[in-house]
Amino acid sequence: MRIVTVLVAGALVAAAPAAAQAQTSAPTPTAGTPDDAGLAYRYAAGLDGNLALGVVDRFLVNARGDMLVTTPVWGLYLEPRWTYAEVNDVKTDAEYYLRAVGFFHPRDRFYGFAVGLLERSFRRRYEVRATGGAGVGSNLVQTVPFQLLVAQGEVYETTEFYVADLIGDPDATSTQRGVVRPVTRLSGRLRFADKTALFFDAYFKPAIDDFEDYRILAKASFELALAHPGGHLLAARALLDYTRETVRVVGTSEDEMMLTFGVAVRRE
């Protein structure tokens, strides 16, 4: 049988009006141009995915969003995300994710932060994963063509797995597992020209007492500007998500990669 593959996605991203150097969708904990009181904000919502029809019917959709509010002294960032996937009408993924970050002096060269996450993943076979911690970061490079952020923190992560049969922890007797992890983050945005930009965000999370127990989370998006309707930017977009977990439920994959395509609309 001939296989027909269709890639479909969409994304909608909006932010508060700002100058050309606004940090809309940038990796830094700043948000556009502050008003007279020093308050600035941005928000975004997105939908992307892929679809294949033929010998194997595959369907995947991602719903993403974020909101950032900052003043010279504090900032608050919220990021919800939902993923659902099926192969031949059988559910292969149902993932829920919520991240909240509080910033202290977010517009300075160096800033402090506290972070909390709640996650649930059918694909990785855990009912809930809760993470909390704190650290320091730096707005290392802040230019129009290139922005770079680095951060270092420490978090406590507790996971409730479906079963206690874990690769990487053969002595596990409980479905609940707690780990202290130092976390290193590298995030940035590179503008190749007026019409193209690359965004990347990567985390390395080893266990503090066992460097063979680690997690890697990385994502990248490439945007090609198509038009500027009504003061907005309309762009074609490709997104790549990658994760690695060395301690995981038996039968799940160590490495996971997801590629989706769509369009983005952003107001700057």
Per-residue pLDDT of 196-211, as tens digits, reads: 889 999 999 999 999 9
Q: CA 219, CA 226: separation in Å to the nearest integer?
A: 23
Q: CA 230, CA 22: separation in Å to the nearest integer?
A: 18
Secondary structure string (H, E, C) spanning 177-229: EEEEEEEEEEEEEEEEECCEEEEEEEEEEEECCEEEEEEEEEEEEEEEEEECH
Mean of the pLDDT values across residues 4-21?
33
Q: CA 117, CA 64: separation in Å to the nearest integer?
A: 15
Q: What is the DSSP letter of 230?
A: G
Say whether 107 sits in a helix, a strand or coil: coil
Sequence-distant (≥ 6) Cβ neighbours of residue 170 within 8 angstroms: none
| Residue 112 pLDDT greater than 90, yes or no | yes
| Residue 7 pLDDT greater than 70, yes or no | no
Per-residue pLDDT of 28-49, as tens digits, reads: 566 656 666 778 877 777 788 8
pTM of the full structure: 0.84
Q: CA 101, CA 224: separation in Å to the nearest integer?
A: 29
In the chain the beta strands, taken as DSSP E runs, fall at 4-6, 10-15, 40-53, 58-70, 74-87, 90-104, 110-121, 126-142, 146-161, 166-167, 176-193, 196-207, 210-227, 232-245, 248-249, 255-267
Residue labelled with tokens 């990385």: 218
List the structure tokens of 10: 């969409």
